[in-house]
Amino acid sequence: MKNSKKLQKDKVEIVVLTKEYLLERLENFLLIEKLCFPSSNCWSEQNFLEELPMKWSFSKACLASENKMKDNLVGYIFASRYGQRKAHIHRLAVHPSFQGRGIGSKLVCHMIAEVLQQRIAKITAESIAEKTRVNTFYRRLGFVELQRDETLRYLSVKKKMLKADSFHAVNDKGTRCVFSLNIHIHRGNKSSL
């Protein structure tokens, strides 16, 4: 990758994603969504606006000053809390013109920093087995892919089994991948991955 393709640190800003910001720029979120995901798996306006525990604290947007589009939104992460000490990444997307520049990693790292403050012990994310680039991305960040029985247990606990089956069934080929990142909370509020 050429250095000229890399964004300078001062040209990228990760901000807390607020409902107000989302509502003002919903068309931009929907555009990035359509560019990043197949139509069968695209989020609708309703998905973006769904209220979830800690969603507006854990979710982030990435703004880039060199972006020539109407809005400078180039990526986003939506995450929420579930259970007492778990968080889940619902959606992570970076505009195709800005992929491969570290924006996805920055979004996840900012989200991890936020969940550490809330003493979250585990972060999960879902993917599809065929998406090798996405799966490699999560592994590079320290996430570990759950085995089939752990995946089924995870989906059951999150009460997503019916919803999951309607999208990508967990079958003998294991099309759905679930990744987990365990965070170790030490006495004195220090945490590590």
Ordered by start, the domain boundaries in the chain are 3-192
3.40.630.30, 1.10.760.10, 3.90.180.10, 3.30.70.1880: CATH of 3-192: 3.40.630.30
pTM (two decimals): 0.81
Query: Which one of 49-53, 76-80, 156-160, 162-166 scores highest in mean pLDDT?
Result: 76-80
Q: Tens digit of pLDDT for each residue in 136-149?
A: 999 999 999 888 88
CB atoms within 10 A of CB 9: 9
C-beta of residue 108 within 8 angstroms of C-beta of residue 139? no
Cα 73 to Cα 129: distance, rounded to the nearest angstrom? 28
CA distances from 188 to 22, 119, 123, 146 (A): 36, 12, 21, 30
Q: Tens digit of pLDDT for each residue in 3-57?
A: 334 445 448 899 999 999 999 999 999 999 999 988 888 899 999 998 888 898 8
Q: How long, in residues, is the chain? A: 193
Longest dimension (CA), the chain: 47
- Percent of the chain at pLDDT exceeding 90: 45
